[in-house]
Amino acid sequence: MILPEPFDLIILGAGIAGLSVADAAILQGKRCLIVDSKNPGGGASGAPMMLINPATGRRAKKAWKAEESFGAISGLLNRVQEQSKHSFFDQNGVLRPALTEKIADDFKMSDSKYNWDHGWLEWLDKPEFSSRFPFIGNHYGGLVVSNAITLLGDTFLKSFSRYLKKNNLHTSYGHEPEIFRKKDDWFVDTGCGVEYTSKIVVDATGWNQTKNGYWNFLPLHPVKGQLATYFFEENPKLPHSISSLGYMAVTKIKPKQITVGSTYEHDFKDLKTTPQASAYLRKKFENTLPGFLEKSIYSRQWASLRVSLPDKMPVIGPHPEFKGLYIIGAFGSKGLLLSTLVAGQLVRQIFEDVHPNKKISISRFLQP
């Protein structure tokens, strides 16, 4: 008889949330196992190119805990990059063109209105913005966000997983896990003849959280996102990525590519890419960067699902009925920015009984 292998913590899901929880727990000396039916990078956080952009939404509002979150994810990226053979991020900043006069008026006030630290934002009026960035389409000036990162999601997650395995993370990838509870312990069976056990299980499975039944009391909402990567024979030589009701991501790591992301479907039938999304992305690309589309030689689409809550904030904390079961999720489009900070708060809650910030705690959805 083979006895179940014990762990301090079992994490379900090897996306950015799950790997970040593993990293925070390992830094505390905990013995961790992460389980995923796919490999790292198989979900929403494994997109070809993404932005870590602290100036969010239509009005470049400062994201929650922006400076602290950006510092945390930057530190993680540098730690992983030091042990990786492949480059996967570029702090090349983000341009935020103002598409209307009203947005331009708001952008002018962003620095003081949202109390940004000095040097994070720079407002440029229309003549100066046009002079510095003549490739941008119609605008009324814009912001330059210095502390923003373009990231190769798939490459990063694979490098992150390898980094954690070097630091004693145990993994089980490529097998659909079954979890069940006996007395005070959780058991995970991956169908390979080995069971794992822990008193603590963290659900970081993203979209699966909307289907597995444990979290039905949370108003989790899945959203389908699609993007397209356009390839060029010559380097388009864009100095920054662009955020403009979606994004155009560029990086010197892959200089002959531009990834455009801007479609979010709340009602969908499957995860396949669609011609409608392709047409929308092409139009977005052409409007933002006139003349670039015709220079591309081919494109490739990608689609996945992410989960959000009505208040657009992530959620962490224990299940109110199933002892030892925790959730981390609902990051929406801000998963890369917030994941390191939020995962750290969850691990401190689990092992040190330190309550997380109320804005991200599961307690906000529970009856007092």
Contact 315, 209 (CB under 8 A): no
- The answer to whether the Cα torsion of 204, 332, 19, 271 is positive or negative is positive
User: What pLDDT score does 2 carry?
Assistant: 64
User: What pLDDT score does 161 carry?
Assistant: 97
Domains delineated in the chain: 5-46+155-220+311-365 (3.50.50.60), 94-146 (no CATH), 221-308 (3.30.9.10)
Contact 145, 85 (CB under 8 A): no
Tokens 């979606």 sit at which residue?
Answer: 246
Mean pLDDT value across the chain: 94
Q: What is the pLDDT of residues 293-308, one digit of tens each?
A: 999 999 999 999 999 9
- Which of these, 226, 220, 223, lies nearest to 328 by C-alpha position? 220
The pair of three-digit structure tokens given for residue 238, joined into one six-digit string: 């864009």
Tens digit of each residue's pLDDT, the chain (368 residues): 466 889 999 999 999 999 999 999 999 999 999 999 999 988 888 999 999 999 988 888 899 999 999 999 999 999 999 999 999 999 999 999 999 999 999 999 988 888 898 889 999 999 999 999 999 999 999 999 999 999 999 999 999 999 999 999 999 999 888 999 988 899 999 887 789 999 999 999 999 999 999 999 999 999 999 999 999 999 999 999 999 888 999 999 999 999 999 878 888 888 899 999 999 999 999 999 999 999 999 999 999 999 999 999 999 999 999 999 999 999 998 999 999 999 999 999 999 999 999 999 999 999 77
User: What pLDDT score does 319 carry?
Assistant: 97
**Ramachandran category for residue 226: left, alpha or beta (phi over 0 → left; psi -120 to 50 → alpha):** beta
Contact 202, 326 (CB under 8 A): yes
Is the pTM above the cut of 0.85? yes
Residue 15's φ and ψ, nearest 5 degrees, are -85, -165
User: What pLDDT score does 294 carry?
Assistant: 94
- DSSP reduced 3-state for 9: strand
User: What pLDDT score does 118 carry?
Assistant: 87
DSSP letter string over 158-212? HHHHHHHHHTT-EEEESS--EEEEETTEEEEE-SSS-EEEES-EEE--GGGGGTS
The pair of three-digit structure tokens given for residue 144, joined into one six-digit string: 């330059």
